[in-house]
Amino acid sequence: MRITRRGLLLVLSSPSGAGKTTLARRLLDAEPGIHMSVSVTTRKPRPGEVEGVDYFFVDKREFERLKARRKLLEWAEVFGQLYATPKTPVVDALQSGNDVLFDVDWQGARQIKKRLPRDVVRVFILPPDGKTLERRLRARNQDSEAAVVHRMAKAAAEIEHWDEYDYVVVNVDVEKCLAELRSILAAERLKRERQSGLAGFVGEMLDDL
């Protein structure tokens, strides 16, 4: 017995240094029913990157064409390069009952929520405390104090949007935090409104009574 359901979009945001990348990878490994969204980008492929796996690589003209035709769910410019989430694969996944994982900042989360409000589940991942976050950001940037200050300001700017999310988890322990993300995913899959096959399932049951 398997009840048909609509997929969901699990959006993870956090300041860098909160462990989001590790958590996303662990979640994908643990949950075969959810896949990472593959972005479109105008930047050049790096050695080893595979078209359609790491990114869909397009030129600027093609990117603008996708945007104009409303084929992009969200988009952003980072260091002069354009990045976006193509809409078609996401809509296909939703309709076939597959879940999609997004690793985006608060602006991306807001855009996706606006376009597909009922399908989005937004989770914000917080670091245990400010000191820990600073230590992690310093460990990454051994180049200059200015770079660290910039990263800290960027992290703070991201954290300030914590209250636009449905769930908030604090990453003190990666195993505990992973278990929490898995609970959120499991619970959201059981939401009545997502289980599109329930009406038929209950109808058959009532016919048998």
Residues that bind a copy of itself (CB under 8 A): 1, 3, 124, 126-131, 133-134, 152-153, 155-156, 159-160, 162-163, 165-170, 172, 179-180, 182-184, 186-188, 190-192, 195, 198-199, 201-202, 204-209
Rounded Cα gap, residues 48 and 45, in angstroms: 8
Query: Residue 174 or residue 202: which is nearer to a copy of itself going by CB?
Result: 202
> Residue 68 or residue 205: which is nearer to a copy of itself going by CB?
205
- Considering the complex, state which of residue 2 and residue 70 has its C-beta at the smaller distance from a copy of itself: 2
∠ Cα 72 52 155 (to 5°):
60
The CA distance from 13 to 159, in Å, is: 9
Q: Edge-to-edge strand order for the sheet containing 55-57?
A: 55-57, 39-41, 81-86, 72-78
Retrieve residue 178's tokens: 């992973």
Contact 176, 170 (CB under 8 A): no
Q: Which is nearer to a copy of itself, 91 or 170 (CB)?
A: 170
Shortest reach from residue 107's CB to a copy of itself, in Å: 18
Name the minimum Å distance from CB 65 to a copy of itself.
Answer: 38
Smallest separation, CB 150 to a copy of itself (Å): 12
